[in-house]
Structure 1
Amino acid sequence: MKFDDKIPIYYQIKNYIYGQIITGKLAPGEKIPAVRQLAVDLTVNVNTVQRALGELISEGILESRRGLGNFVTEDQATIEEVKHKLIMQQLHEMYENLHDLNVTDDEIVAYLRQYIKDRRTTKDGQYN
């Protein structure tokens, strides 16, 4: 995993785990790797991973089971909330970036429609 220096690492780890859950790479009820294993896999400090996992547990995304480890919630509503939250974050970032380029709301919608249309017709999904 490549980290962005401008964003706290624990927050990026949270988003990484959110992504793993939303894409189904981590299924509802599935045990996630141990804190130490995640730290090794992500090449970060154990305390950083622990902070990210602690927040995910407090948000209800993960469930801690004493002596067994941490598991992805089986609550589909919670998973849908996470998906919605991530989508809104991505849209917010895109919106702000485009407005910084003086693109109007109507232009954003038009460009997005065109982008989706073009993407459907290209094989590799790359935009030129």
Structure 2
Amino acid sequence: MKKLLLLLIIPLAFLSCGKSGDVVPSVPVNFQASLTDPRLAALNASGGYVVITGYGVAGLILYRTPDRRYVAYDRCSSYQPQKKCAVTVDESGFTATDPCSGSKFSLSDGLPVKAPATKSLRSYYVTTNSFEIYVSN
């Protein structure tokens, strides 16, 4: 019985070892800005977003969710991240699209909503006080 169980477990272990290299690289992010900065004015309203360049792999998207939280994502698509394709926010302001693959991602939680992407956008920690927003990892 033990041999049979072992024969079943070993192949499953090999099958579960998938390709793990297909992830957005982890790079240091330390962004800080005043919430009164006119460039961040769009974050005053739910559904507002701002694109920040020069941080992360392909830049950042800061987004104000409908429940008034701030979230931050790397613009690098999670589908074939080695291409460093930067997602762009759609006209609706609720999703972002990878122009290389056509994948779409929800800005509320970063989850893919249209294939071929199966992984979320890389998210970052966001903290705020009355005056500033901080984004880090």
- Give me the TM-score of the superposition, normalised by structure 2: 0.20
Q: Which one has a larger percent helix, Structure 1 or Structure 2?
A: 1
- Give me the TM-score of the superposition, normalised by structure 1: 0.21
Q: Which one has a larger percent strand, Structure 1 or Structure 2?
A: 2
